[in-house]
């Protein structure tokens, strides 16, 4: 990290969460003198008065907005209104109040769920508006996408410097392994480890395994976020990904192998697959601020499994 960071006062919303904890570690290592991590118990980002108090108290030069209410397909189906409202209100108010207070830069994290359901593969940023998102996560995806609209509108009218990043699904140590809200990799790791320990004959997985996904190791993602925070100053959206696409069927087989589960896989085809395919074009990130993921997928999975095995109790 460069001398740029030694002059910054940074607010990291979601800084105690999964991605946020890695971003904060990098900021500390880079010599950032003041890092503020708002805690939800004391600062509800859905409330304007809490947002104003946060910004007035620490007077940041940069806000990195990582906070989100998010989950897997099941959680999105159960909480569509909640996910829409909370994610929309957090982003809109935080960006607006940052602009009003002259915060020098706002970094917004969107979501791959904002892309249309049938986006041509690989997903290019230019295709972001060419259709409606996959239905199970559309409320969440569209709520986060509004920060892109706001970012571009505020740059156009006010000259405000904000950026919008689109990370693919993340995985790694410290991920959320709660069954009711976890994403596919931690959910499968937990399921396979518990089935292995119970000597179960099979595990059950949603869908038919045909959907594909791309995953980005969390520490790679933190590097991408901070490279963009330092070097990128446009409101055109930018994908952050690994360029590695894998089917859910192959993912389950790989996680079963790495966790030592040798039972059968039963597919519940009454449950949705989610978006049919996900794979990003990441050329803009490499060209605009020099980011390219470096963690091998199998190695990243091993680190994630090892962390879970050591911390699950």
pLDDT number for residue 1: 66
What is the pLDDT at residue 12? 98
Distances, alpha carbon 205 to alpha carbons 188, 217, 258, 276, 305, in Å: 8, 23, 17, 16, 18
Residue 213: CB atoms within 10 A of its CB come to 22
Q: Does 177 fall in a domain?
A: no
Residue 300 lies in a domain: no
Name the domain count of the chain. 1
Mean pLDDT across 13-27: 97
Q: So which residues are the catalytic ones?
A: 140
Q: Is 310 exposed, middle or buried (0-12, 13-18, 19+ CB in 10 A)?
A: exposed
Helix (H), strand (E) at residue 305:
helix 297-311
Q: pLDDT band for position 226 (50/70/90)? A: very high
In a domain, 283, yes or no: yes
pTM above threshold 0.85: yes
Triad 211, 214, 219: Cα angle to 5°: 150
The whole-chain average pLDDT of the chain stands at: 96
pLDDT of residue 249: 97
Query: Regarding predicted confidence, which is higher, 206 or 72?
Result: 206
Q: Which domain holds residue 138?
A: 3-172+216-243+279-295
pLDDT confidence of residue 275: 85
Instruction: Give tens-digit pLDDT for 271-285.
Output: 989 888 999 999 999
Task: Examine residue 267 and state whether it is found in any structural domain, yes or no.
Answer: no
- What is the structure's pLDDT at 313? 76
- Structural element, H or E, at residue 212: strand 212-217
CATH of the domain at 117: 3.40.50.720
How far apart are alpha carbons 22 and 30 in whole angstroms? 12
* DSSP code of residue 126: G
Pairing of strands 9-13, 62-65: parallel
In a domain, 25, yes or no: yes
């Amino acid at each position: 990290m460069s001398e740029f960071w030694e002059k910054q006062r940074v607010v990291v919303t979601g800084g105690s969460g999964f991605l946020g904890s890695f971003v904060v570690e990098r900021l500390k290592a880079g010599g950032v003198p003041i890092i503020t991590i708002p805690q939800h118990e004391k600062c509800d980002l859905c409330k304007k008065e809490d947002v104003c108090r946060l910004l007035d108290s620490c007077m940041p030069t940069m806000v990195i907005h990582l906070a989100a209410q998010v989950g897997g397909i099941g959680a999105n189906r159960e909480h569509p209104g909640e996910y829409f409202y909370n994610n929309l209100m957090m982003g809109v108010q935080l960006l607006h109040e940052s602009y009003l207070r002259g915060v020098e830069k706002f970094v917004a994290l969107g979501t791959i769920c904002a892309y249309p359901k049938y986006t041509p593969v690989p997903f290019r940023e230019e295709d972001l508006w060419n259709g409606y998102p996959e239905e199970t996560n559309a409320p969440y995806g569209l709520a986060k996408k509004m920060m892109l609209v706001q970012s571009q509108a505020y740059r156009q009218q006010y000259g405000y410097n904000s950026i919008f990043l689109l990370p693919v699904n993340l995985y790694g140590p410290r991920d959320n392994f709660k069954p009711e809200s976890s994403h596919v990799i931690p959910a499968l790791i937990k399921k396979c480890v518990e089935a292995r320990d119970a000597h179960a004959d099979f595990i059950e997985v949603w869908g038919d395994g045909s959907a594909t996904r791309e995953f980005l190791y969390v520490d790679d993602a933190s590097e991408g976020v901070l490279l963009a925070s330092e070097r990128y100053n446009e409101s055109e959206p930018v994908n952050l990904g690994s360029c590695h696409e894998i089917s859910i069927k192959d993912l389950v087989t790989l996680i079963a192998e790495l966790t030592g589960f040798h039972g059968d896989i039963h597919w519940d085809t009454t449950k949705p697959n989610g978006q049919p395919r996900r794979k990003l074009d990441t050329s803009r990130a490499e060209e605009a601020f020099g980011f390219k993921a470096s963690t091998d997928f199998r190695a990243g999975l091993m680190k994630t499994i090892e962390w879970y095995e050591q911390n699950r109790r």
